[in-house]
Structure 1
Amino acid sequence: MNPYRERLTPPATVFVATALVVPATLLVFLPIDQLVGVVVAVLFYAATVVALVFTSPVLTIDDEGFSAGRARLFPHEIGEVRGFSGAEATQQRGPRLDARAWTLFRGWVRPVVRISLTDETDPAPYWLVSTRRPDEVVRRLEALRQRTPGR
């Protein structure tokens, strides 16, 4: 199986919005020194961009299982998998969300995948994870499930 990898990075609009750190920094540092103000503003914005990119969780599906950020499900733990988008994804993240579910959401990624768990001792009944490609994630997780011995 070819590994699947998706980083849940913010869209360009988030990077544009975080550019407001530049004028805010300039307001503070320009009265002290113009060069320092510009340098600090650029460094703050660069640090913000780096933080947004490198702290974005990564989804991975490979022969070893499914990873969402630091959490991992092994193939034998994966139950029924369903993808949701649009209004149904909003319902899954809101009114229909079980408080015991393990979640990994990003506000800028609306579609979600719901993964039921087969482990009866796990306190979480399912995982609900943001993904830009719910159909692809469902297809790959189902394929991984089918290859698991004992199913």
Structure 2
Amino acid sequence: MQLSTTPYEERLTAPRSWWFVSFLVGVSFALILLPFGTLPMLGGLVGGTAAAAVVASSYGSVRIRVVGDSLIAGEAKIPVAALGEAEVLDPEEARAWRTYKADNRAFLLLRAYIPTALRVEVTDPQDPTPYLYLSTREPERLAEALRAARETAA
């Protein structure tokens, strides 16, 4: 396996509004604990905000990378030799592939707050997965990185 510099890396971070919602969760905990006094209220504010922020951060920490001859999407690691053509999906087409066009055998790295995606065919006959659906903010760049990695591996 040839390792080169990473031609593509993206972290699917949660949107800024989720951090505000994390603060609102803390405010909710503070209001619940208000009858018990000032210290429990402050503890609820800090603890609730921190817990919600950890959840938002972990959900938004998933990465998509093309390293050497592999695509790493979340926990999945797929050799680019097992992948076929990549199709860039605009927001409407991405929504269609998330809903009524979806195949329940497909691998979905789905983040609903990212409107665009890349659909990549799986060509390995031993793999029952028909395609990968990858939410990405830069689908053209990811498709090009996969194309370049496939050419390098060949």
- Tell me if TM exceeds 0.5: yes
Alignment of 1:125 onto 2:127: no
Give identity over the alignment, percent.
Answer: 29
* Deviation of 1:22 (Å): 2.0
Alignment of 1:24 onto 2:11: no
1:112-145 CA distances to partner (integer Å, 9 max, x unpaired)? 1111112112111111010011011001001111
Q: Distance in 2 between matches of 1:38 and 1:72?
A: 43
Q: Which residue of 2 aligns with 1:9?
A: 13
Contact 2:83 2:120 in 1 (8 A): yes
Structure 2 residue aligned with 1:34, among 33, 38, 42?
A: 38
Where in structure 2 are the equivalents of 1:1-151 lying within 5 Å?
1-3=4-6, 4-56=8-60, 57-149=62-154
Deviation larger for 96-105 or 123-132? 96-105
Q: Distance in 2 between matches of 1:17 and 1:55?
A: 14
* Deviation of 1:19 (Å): 2.4
* Deviation of 1:9 (Å): 1.3
1:72 corresponds to which letter in structure 2? K
Give the alignment's TM-score, normalised by structure 2: 0.89
Contact 2:30 2:40 in 1 (8 A): no
Q: Distance in 1 between matches of 2:56 and 2:145?
A: 27
Give the alignment's TM-score, normalised by structure 1: 0.90
Gaps of 5+ in 2: none
Q: Distance in 1 between matches of 2:51 and 2:22?
A: 11
1:79-133 CA distances to partner (integer Å, 9 max, x unpaired)? 1111111212111222221222111101111111111112112111111010011
2:25 corresponds to which letter in structure 1? V
SS in 1 for 2:102: coil
* Deviation of 1:24 (Å): 1.5
Greater helix share, structure number: 2
